[in-house]
Amino acid sequence: MGQCGITSSKTVLVFLNLIFWAAAGILCYIGAYVFITYDDYDHFFEDVYTLIPAIIIIAVGTLLFIIGLIGCCATIRESSCGLATFAAILLLVFVTECVVVVLGYIYRAKVENQVNHSIQKVYNEYNGTNTDAPSRAIDYVQRQLHCCGIHNYSDWRNTHWFKESKNNSVPVSCCLPSITNCTGTLTRPADLYQEGCEALVVKKLKEIMMYVIWTSLTFASIQMLGMLCACVVLCRRSHDPAYELLVTTNSYA
C-alpha cells in the first residue's frame, strides 16, 4: 500500500516537472509581454519600478527550467538529496511568486495616479512628427485604444500643438478607421473617436498587472502541489523499510 502511494506521488512529480517546463515558457512570455507593452505606454507611466514584477517572473520562469531538470533527475534516480533540493527551491520560488502578487497589487493601485500625473505633460509635448517619442506614443495609443484626447477630443484645444497649428483639427490618429479622407477637423466631430485616452490607458495597464498577478497565483498553486508531492516521497521513503529495501535492490541490480 505504501509502495503504491509512493509510486503515485512520483508519477505526479514527473508530471508536475513537465508542467514546470511549460510554466517556465509561459512566465517568460508574460514577462516579455509586460516589458513590450510597458515600452508602448512608458510615457504615460514614469515609475520604472512597475517593471519589477515582470523582471521577477522572467527570473522565476528561467529558474523553473532548472527546477524541472532537478526534479526529473531526482525523481528518476530516487535521490533524497535531489528531492530535498527540489522541494527547497520550489519553496523559494513559491515565496517569490507570492511577493510578485503583492507587488502587482501595489503597483496596480498606483497606475491611475501615475497616468493622471503624466498624461497632460505628454499631450503638451506632442508636435505631430514621427521622430518625436511623445508624439509617436500618443498616435500609437489613440489608434490602438480607439480614443482621442485625455477625456475627449476637445482636450486637444488646450495643447501647444493645437494652438500653434491654428487649423482647428486634431491628429489624424483620432480619426475613425471607417472614415476615408479624414483630416481630424473639429468641424466634423462624428469622424473622431469620442472616448478619451486617460481611462483606457489606466484600464490597459491594470489589465497587464492582473495578467502578472493571476499567472503568479496559478503557478504558485502548482508549485505548492509539487512541494507536497516531494515531501510525501521523502517522508515515505524514510519511514518505509520495504521501499528502502526495494530502492537498494534496484540500485544493485
pLDDT at 239 over 80: no
More confident residue, 50 or 52: 52
Q: How many C-beta neighbours within 10 Å does residue 139 have? A: 18
Percent of the chain with pLDDT over 90: 17
Contact yes or no for 138/126 (Cβ under 8 A): yes
Q: Where are the alpha helices (DSSP H) in the chain?
A: 2-41, 52-77, 80-124, 133-145, 160-165, 197-239, 241-252
Q: How many C-beta neighbours within 10 Å does residue 202 have? A: 19
Q: What is the pLDDT of residues 93-106, one digit of tens each?
A: 888 888 888 888 88
Sole residue written with cell 497587464:
208
Closest by CA position to 20, among listed 61, 56, 59: 61
Contact yes or no for 198/115 (Cβ under 8 A): yes
C-alpha cell recorded at residue 171 = 491628429
Angstrom distance (rounded) from CA 214 to CA 146: 27
Angstrom distance (rounded) from CA 137 to CA 103: 26
Q: What CATH number should be reported for the domain whose range is 107-220?
A: 1.10.1450.10
In the DSSP assignment, the letter for residue 152 is S
Beta bridge partners of 175: 192
Q: What is the pLDDT of residues 199-235, one digit of tens each?
A: 998 888 888 888 888 888 888 887 787 777 777 766 7
